[in-house]
Structure formats: structure tokens, C-alpha cells
Amino acid sequence: MRVLQVLHDGRLGGPQWRIVQVAKALRSQGISTHVLFPFADHDFPRLLEDAGVSYECPELVRLRATRRPDVHAKWATMFLPNVRTIQKVIETRKIDVVHVNGLMNIQGSLAARRCGVPLLWHLNDESTPRQAVRVLRQPLERWPAVIAISAPALRPAYGLDGSAASPPVHVLFPPVDPVRFSRPITPPVSRSEFGIPDDALVVGTVGNLNPTKGTDIFLEALAAARRVEPALFGVIVGPELSTRKAFAARLRDLAASSPLSSGVRFLGRRLDVERVLAILDFYAQASRSEGVGMAAMEASAMGLPVIASASGGLVDVVDDGVTGALVEPADVGALSEAMVKLSADEPLRRQMGINGAQKMAGHTPEAAARSHVTAYEAALSS
């Protein structure tokens, strides 16, 4: 079986990490993966090359949440050329299943339809505007052979109520590498590498620096928590985005103000996230909206309790009171209270971490690959 993965974002994030890990696991089952995406930086291509996964980087243009008419004009101008580019790849590589990522990936979906190739339309998050969901409701019901979602909690965001009018829905949880995200870390890592005292308490968060990930909420909650627990340090992993410079500047201002000053470390983009997770006492994901939260899954696999906003698939990742705590999105007070509670209760942190690691043990790349195979076979047989 030959699968074409189509993305409209080449930046390294959850869908990209999922594709790399699943493609490696699928190869052992005789399924090859080819990936199509616009070039953004060298991180994603390098991971694909290391995994032996083929790829191409044509100029695929995606719709953006902006009022700039030139951006929308470029998307409209490039729409049909993009469709033809994807069609050519489908035909040249004799693709059996097209796997498009994101509701707004209309070009990939239309190309699969025009080629008569089964389409798996993967809905990764809950941030797509409701108006766009309404506009694309008919194509979503008619074009794909299979709809995939990253977590059960995403069903309401797309109106996937299990009605007969919709294609079958498959849940494709992202994988967590059980070797990479486990303790102890080799070589060993110490807090001093990051300028943090060995006797500190440390909470971290991972994600691109943008409002969706709620990094500002994380910092505001951390500031409130440090007034109660001054030994609590914060670690932020994730790159600044060229489209979010003002937001990144605001984060720097927040971090420089009291009581956060000297208590926050910005570590930028890291491909060794597991080494950062290894120095944490607990993890926090303050996303305003979320798909499934791979970083939260990885933190749980590392034996860390996870505080997360009750948004998107995070409610499927975190069992409130068992593997961590769920708080309302953008509720700084509730997030801060959860940070203080975990800071003060080491036995609770330990037990939640054990529970989380046990829960994540079933989400291996091999298990994710089996779910993908089931979805692909369903697409082929429809």
C-alpha cells in the first residue's frame, strides 16, 4: 500500500511528529509513506530523512486567519495549481490512499477526489472557525472515504455525531515513543545545565509561542504560584514564530516582571524535549484550544503529572485527579492553584506520574500504526 500524506504547514509540530513515527512503523507492514508539504525549515525534512521517509516540498498555500487581502488572493491564485501538483504526485507515485491533514486542506482533498483515490481526511484540532466548518460540511460528508480525528473529544467541533450521513470516523491517537520518553535519561541531565538550582521545583510547557498554546496564561499562573511557592521555576520550550513576534515580545515582558524575573527559562526550539522533561516536577499545558496535545502525552509517559486546560483532546489525555488536573481554558487562577497544590504534595505528584505513565504505555508507534492500517483498509474497501 502506498500512502500520500499532505500537509499545508512544514513547521515541526504534532502532526509532523506523528507522521514520522507512524511512517517508520508502517514500513515494517509493507506500507510506504510519501509526504507533501511546503518547506518552512530544516527540522521536519531532517527527521523524515533520518527515518528514511520520502518527501517533496512544493509551494502549497494554506488559508490563514488574517485580514490581509494579498494573502487570500495568493491562496485563490494558487488553489488550482496546488490541486494539479498534488494530482500529479498521486498519479506518478500510484498512490492508494491520500491522507490529508487539517480541515482547511481542501486542495489535497479535491486532488484525491479528482484522481478517484480513497481519501482519509484527518481533523487534527478544534481551532478551525465554526463558519469554516459549516461551509465545508458538505465536502466533509461526501468526499472522504474515512474521517480521522486525533481524539474522541474533537467530535463536537466538527459535528461528528455518528449520523448515517457522515463517513466512518476513526480515532488516530498520536504515538509516544516508549524508549525516548522514559526514565532514566541517557546521558543524565541536570538542572544546572539550564541555570536552575538543583533544589528548585520546576514546571514546564512545550509548544510554539502563539496565543493558541496559552503560553501567556502559563506565565500569569506561574507568577501567581510563585507568590505562594517562590522555589517554583518555569521552563518554556518552543520557537518564536515570525507571524507572532508581538506575542513573543509580550511573553518576554511578562517573564521579566516580578515575581517571574529570574524564575523563567525560554529554551527555544528543542529536538531533545525528553531531556527537558527529565528535569521537571510536573507539566502544564494551558492551551486555549488543542488537538490532542502530544507534549502532554509525552510528559505523562515520562512519569510527570500534567495540568491541562480542558480543551480539545487534552480531556482524553489527562484523567482529572488521577494523572493530573484539568482546569477551564484561560482560567489563570485555577491553573495557579493546581500548580501550588502539586508543588506542595510530592507523594501526589509521584502517584499521578505513575498513573500517567501506565496510561500512555499503550500509545506506542506500533499501536498508532495499527490504527492507521485499520483506517486505510476501511478507506480502500469503501
Question: Is 186 among the domain residues?
Answer: no
Residue 181 lies in a domain: no
> Are residues 36 and 167 both part of a single domain?
yes
10 and 124 share one domain = yes
Strands (E), the chain: 2-6, 32-36, 54-56, 97-101, 119-123, 146-149, 169-171, 201-206, 232-237, 264-268, 282-285, 306-309, 324-327
Contacts of 166 (CB under 8 A, 6+ apart): 140, 141, 147, 160
Task: Give the residue numbers spanning the domain of 108.
Answer: 2-175+364-381
| Structural contact between residues 250 and 214, judged by C-beta atoms closer than 8 angstroms | no
Please list the pLDDT of the chain residue by residue as tens digits (382 residues).
999 999 999 999 899 999 999 999 999 999 999 999 999 999 999 999 999 999 999 999 988 777 788 888 999 999 999 999 999 999 999 999 999 999 999 999 999 999 999 999 999 888 788 888 888 989 999 999 999 999 999 999 898 876 555 799 999 999 999 999 998 998 899 999 999 999 999 999 999 999 999 999 999 999 999 999 999 999 999 999 888 999 999 999 999 998 999 999 999 999 999 999 999 999 999 999 999 999 999 999 999 999 999 999 999 999 999 999 999 999 999 999 999 999 999 999 999 999 999 999 999 999 999 999 999 999 999 8
Instruction: Note whether residue 104 is domain-resident.
Output: yes
Which residues, at least 6 apart from 307, have a Cβ–Cβ distance to it below 8 Å? 203, 282, 283, 284, 285, 318, 324, 325, 326, 327, 335, 338, 339, 342
Residues 159, 210: one domain? no
Q: What are the start-end ranges of the E strands in 7-96?
A: 32-36, 54-56
Q: Which residue has the cell 541517557?
A: 186
Q: From CA 21, how far away is CA 96, in angstroms rounded? A: 20
Q: Is residue 185 part of a domain?
A: no
CA distances from 129 to 50, 83, 186, 220 (A): 36, 23, 43, 26
CATH value at residue 376: 3.40.50.2000
Kindly state whether residues 206 and 311 are assigned to the same domain.
yes
Do 283 and 342 fall within a single domain?
Answer: yes
Instruction: Assess if residue 257 is contained within a domain.
Output: yes
The verdict on residue 69 lying in a domain is yes
Report yes or no: 314 and 290 within 8 Å, Cβ to Cβ: yes
In-domain check, residue 183:
no
User: What tens digit of pLDDT does each residue of 288-316 get?
Assistant: 999 999 999 999 999 999 999 999 999 99
Return d(Cα 16, Cα 30) in angstroms, integer. Answer: 21
For residue 259 the three cell numbers come to 515575581
* SS3 assignment, position 135: helix
Same domain, 134 and 199: no
Q: For residue 168, list its beta bridge partners.
A: none
Interatomic CA distance for residues 15 and 175, integer angstroms = 11
Asked if 227 and 311 sit in the same domain, the reply is yes
In angstroms, the CA 116 to CA 334 distance is 50
Instruction: Provide the angle, in degrees to the nearest 10, between the axes of the packed helices 215-228 and 332-344.
Output: 50
Query: How many domains does the structure of the chain reveal?
Result: 2
Judgement on whether residues 288 and 323 belong to the same structural domain of the protein: yes
Q: Identify whether 202 is part of a domain.
A: yes
Domain match, 198 and 96 both:
no
Nearest to 213 by CA among 224, 226, 204: 204
Whole-angstrom distance, CA of residue 307 vs CA of residue 304: 10
Which one, of 304, 253, 315, lies nearest residue 274 by Cα?
304
21's CB contacts (< 8 A; 6+ apart) are: 174, 175, 177, 365, 368
Could you give the angle at which helices 69-92 and 106-115 cross, rounded to 10 degrees?
30
The verdict on 164 and 284 lying in the same domain is no
Residues 121, 74: one domain? Answer: yes
Can you give the C-alpha Rg of the chain in angstroms?
21
**pLDDT digits 0-9 by tens, 49-67:** 999 999 999 999 988 777 7
**Claim to verify: residue 149 and residue 210 sit in the same structural domain:** no
Please give the model's pTM, rounded to 2 decimal places: 0.93
| Strand duo 201-206 + 169-171: pairing | unpaired
